[in-house]
Amino acid sequence: MRLSSPTPGFASAAVFISASAWGLYWIPLRALDSQGIGGSWGVALLNAPGAVVLAIVVLFQLAAHRGHMREAAAIGLVTGLGMALYGVGIVHTTVMRATLLFYLTPVWATLIGIVWLEEKATVMRWVAIGVGLIGLLLLVSGGSNTVPLGVGDVFAFFSGIAWAMGAAMIKKYEGVPLPGMTMFQFASTAFFGLLLGAVAGVLEVPSLEALRTAIPYATLISIAFIIPAVMILFWAQKFLFPGRVGLLMMSEVLVAGITASLFLPEERMSGIEWAGAVLILGACLVEVLLTPSDQTSDHTLDQT
């Protein structure tokens, strides 16, 4: 099946909604951690089932993927590293700090877009980035927590850089079928999750009983929630520049902030932090409504 290019507004809305759903990603990770399955193993359990399902899809669509496997693997490795860094990081620091450090992504994405994709950043895009960064500063400075930086913060910081690189690759290699790149991304996330835990010394092997209990619902979450969310993001990023994608994905910050405040009293947001969240959401709206539309090409997307 061949799908024509969507309008920039539709693709932007898809990113915004999918990223908002990603604001809930911390919940299953923290739940697994509370059951004795640490961050690294939790990341692996939530992504390995998706890799298996998508591998089956790719096998049935092998003809459509021929000639694209190298690019699909490259995209999957980079985005998988980014998601592994974020997933492990969000367990080993506060939810909001991990999310905020990840959302330095627009800065890296815009720079990568200018250098690699020859994107012309408009004045309004720089304004949107500035508004978003001010919001991030308010969120960081307005918290009551004085938790020192740790391995989780380092991982979360680099996760944004890796994701920005992956977003640029998706835009550059826009002919790569979604199932292939998503399969590699899920497999890479599971692999790098365990590798990062081992390197950082936070990889604790869970008990067999804990694994037996967790695997069924981790599989359900992987297939019913994570696969659709990732594929929507990958699909939309084929038609939007990395800077816009990074800004739209800031909606995740707002959702993560609300849910963390509700379910993690010790991480409840202050008034200044809420002001920062509003500015971040405002940056997304500025990017969508006031900047010139991205120039979508006349190509069609193979989505077999």
Question: What residue ranges in the chain does DSSP mark as E strands?
Answer: 2-4, 300-302
Per-residue pLDDT of 136-191, as tens digits, reads: 777 667 555 545 567 888 898 899 889 888 878 887 887 888 889 999 999 999 99
Please give the structure tokens belonging to residue 115. Answer: 């250098």
Cβ neighbours, 10 Å, residue 292: 10
Say how many domains are in the chain.
Answer: 1
Q: Is residue 71 part of a domain?
A: yes
243, pLDDT greater than 50: yes
Please give the structure tokens belonging to residue 254. Answer: 């707002």
Q: Is residue 35 part of a domain?
A: yes
291, pLDDT greater than 50: no
Q: What is the mean pLDDT of residues 21-37?
A: 91
pLDDT of residue 261: 80
Q: Is residue 133 part of a domain?
A: yes
**3-state DSSP of 118-174:** CCCCCHHHHHHHHHHHHHHHHHHHCCCCCCCCCHHHHHHHHHHHHHHHHHHHHHHCC
State the residue range of the domain holding 201.
Answer: 7-293
- Is-contact 302 135, C-beta < 8 A? no
Q: Is residue 2 part of a domain?
A: no
Q: Is residue 15 part of a domain?
A: yes
Q: What percent of the chain has pLDDT over 70?
A: 83
Please give the structure tokens belonging to residue 97. Answer: 């700090």
- Is-contact 1 297, C-beta < 8 A? no
Q: Is residue 84 part of a domain?
A: yes
pTM above 0.95, yes or no: no
Q: Is residue 19 part of a domain?
A: yes
Q: Is residue 177 part of a domain?
A: yes
Residue 9 — very low, low, confident or very high, per pLDDT cuts 50/70/90?
A: confident
